[in-house]
Amino acid sequence: MGNPLRDRRTPQEFAASHQSIDFDDKIGDFERLAGIVEADLSALDADKIPPGWRDRAVAGSLSFGFADAQQGLPVLEGRVSATVDAVCQRCLEPMELALSAELRLLFAHSETDDSETEPSDESGFEVWELDEETLRPLDIVDEALAMAVPLAVLHEDDETCTAPDDVVVKSRDTIRPFAALKAQMEKDN
């Protein structure tokens, strides 16, 4: 039997079979996530790039079903996580970054305009528009983890970061663009 993450079927087919997928794969199996990590690590000298970063685990659990009794709204619920190698943008040293995403997706086709099959705002599901009839769960996991990568990766605490102290202090300063205006207004009164 193949990898169920790579199966390509319609959301209705996944939901009708109540497909559940527990997986433990490698970052290298997820093209978009691996590309992001590789691009980030390319800023490092070759000797600082962590060996085997593509072999780090991506794990999770996915469950397909329907959000309605008429079985017209296929959904996916689950949780995915990975720890990737990244570069701290403050000290420019390698670090480990934990990623995770909760999935509560309702599938809809981008050309669908049927208001009777729209979920209510209280459903708690995010609408995932499909350009094609079929999907691969692997692509959804890949997209969810790619979106979980922060714009600027930083060490969580100052002790782990090897940046000079003045860089760490400057990054914590709050920018107050209207402080001068406030001072001028108070002076004029």
Tens of pLDDT, residue by residue, the chain (189 residues): 578 999 999 999 999 999 999 999 999 999 999 999 999 999 999 999 999 999 999 999 999 999 988 888 999 999 999 999 999 999 999 999 999 999 999 998 766 445 444 554 556 899 999 888 999 999 999 999 999 999 999 988 777 788 776 554 454 445 666 766 666 777 776
- C-alpha 140/C-alpha 105 separation (Å) is 10
What is the amino acid identity at position 25?
D
Residues 6+ apart with CB under 8 A from 93: 48, 87, 161, 162
CB 110 within 8 A of CB 50: no
108 DSSP β-pair partners: 129
Question: Which of 83, 81, 139, 59 lies closest to 107, judged by CA?
Answer: 139
CB 27 within 8 A of CB 59: no
How far apart are the two ends of the chain, measured CA to CA in Å? Answer: 78
Q: Indicate the helix (H) or strand (E) that contains 15.
A: helix 11-16
- C-alpha 42/C-alpha 1 separation (Å) is 36
Give the CB-side neighbour count of residue 34, counting CA atoms within 13 A. 16
CB 140 within 8 A of CB 184: no
